[in-house]
Amino acid sequence: MNLKPLQNLIDGSPLEPLLPFTNEEFLQQIRYGDFQKWRGLLSQLPQIQPSSVDFGSKVRIGSASDSDPQTLAQLREQLLEFIPWRKGPFELFGIDMKTEWQSNLKWDRLVKEISPLGSRRVLDVGSGNGYYGFRMLEEGAEMVLGIDPHIAYVAQFWLLKHFAAESPVFVLPLTLEQVPPSLNYFDTVFSMGVIYHRRSPIDHILELKSCLRPGGELVIESICVDGEAGYCLTPEKKYARMGNVWFVPSIPTLVKWLSRCGMEKISVIDESITTLNEQRKTEWMPFDSLEDALDVNNPTLTIEGLPAPKRVVVKAIRP
């Protein structure tokens, strides 16, 4: 969990307001999510130098020949301490980590439809364990900063980063609301799987917009439902087992939100239905997953009797 490279990168840059979130004092005040437990586990990781890294469809760091079988068996047990592994897949020194999401499928659907990431500075909001950040590096991004308030997922990233220390991808345990306003810095900002968790989706879009430089691109991925412009599903309690879903927009509504926030050149670049192949239980995420969120007799409905989730990706430009 060496944040010195990030500190060196942002010191004296427009990202300098983020420096307080990289120091030990900030980390020490984190009290939720078993943070100290994760720090302890991270300190016990073996020192293995990977012979190679590959940030392709399956993010691979090292190979089985980089260490001895006993050390790798110990590492596998350490990795299992960090479940649930949701985004992926990863392969770490030959250890095949079959995550809940085959996130490569989502990435493949959108990457050719967005502005090329070569030499871009990228912000990934709700980054989780950083899988997409590694994929962004593969596309040539100059640097990727992820933020996510869920300590367990940030700890997973720090574990991976331990073995890929030179890669210019970083994740901090922050909410978007903690990011200083009006950075006007990033070339591309991603918000994937976040907006329906926000009590104010309009504020979320405005906060994302303020992180972009003029001419920068926003990429939003969201659950959506069928409906006309203005329609938005507001679950009474839970939606697909999730208790923190506030608004599930129709696609025209999401487009209208972006327009009202002053975004331009708005276009829908992907619509899909998540399959049980793309999101499922595995050894690395053995808890309830998509199959448990759908009506067993009618998979077009959730277990609450609401329309089953579809997904959409929309891109837009900050003028």
Specify the amino acid at residue 305.
G
CA 44 to chain centre: 25
Greatest C-alpha distance within the chain? 59
Q: What local confidence, expressed as pLDDT, does residue 1 receive?
A: 74
The residue-averaged pLDDT of 201-217 equals: 98
d(CA 35, CA 25): 14
Q: What local confidence, expressed as pLDDT, does residue 154 receive?
A: 95
What pLDDT digit, counting tens, does each position of 62-84 carry? 999 999 999 999 999 999 999 99
Average confidence score pLDDT of the chain? 96
pTM recorded for the entire structure: 0.96
Pairing mode of beta strands 310-317, 212-224: antiparallel
What tokens were used for 283? 């050894």
**What is the pLDDT confidence band of residue 33, given thresholds at 50, 70 and 90?**
low
What tokens were used for 34? 């078993």
**Nearest Cα residue to 44 out of 8, 84, 83, 77:** 77
Pairing mode of beta strands 143-147, 121-125: parallel
Give me the sign of the Cα torsion angle 214, 218, 212, 263. positive
Q: What local confidence, expressed as pLDDT, does residue 30 receive?
A: 81
What pLDDT digit, counting tens, does each position of 96-127 carry? 999 999 999 999 999 999 999 999 999 999 99
**Nearest Cα residue to 30 out of 175, 197, 245:** 175
Non-local CB neighbours of 259 within 8 Å, separated by 6+ positions: 266
pLDDT beyond 80 at 289: yes
Q: What local confidence, expressed as pLDDT, does residue 74 receive?
A: 97
Non-local CB neighbours of 136 within 8 Å, separated by 6+ positions: 117, 122, 124, 144, 169
d(CA 81, CA 75): 10
For the domain covering 4-317, report its CATH number: 3.40.50.150
Question: Under DSSP, is residue 60 helix (H, G, I), strand (E, B) or coil?
Answer: strand
The residue-averaged pLDDT of 23-38 equals: 82
Q: What local confidence, expressed as pLDDT, does residue 2 receive?
A: 83
Q: What are phi and psi of 143, to 5 degrees?
A: -155, 155
Contact indicator for 251, 228 with CB cutoff of 8 Å: no
The residue-averaged pLDDT of 148-173 equals: 96
Percent of the chain scored above 90 by pLDDT?
93
CA 22 → CA 5, 33, 118, 208, distances in Å? 10, 18, 26, 21
Contact indicator for 142, 119 with CB cutoff of 8 Å: yes
Q: What local confidence, expressed as pLDDT, does residue 24 receive?
A: 86
Q: What local confidence, expressed as pLDDT, does residue 37 receive?
A: 86
> Which helix H or strand E contains 79, and what residues bound it?
helix 69-80
26/210: higher pLDDT: 210
Question: Under DSSP, is residue 22 helix (H, G, I), strand (E, B) or coil?
Answer: helix
Residue 82: count of CB within 10 angstroms of its CB: 20
Q: List the domain boundaries for the chain.
A: 4-317
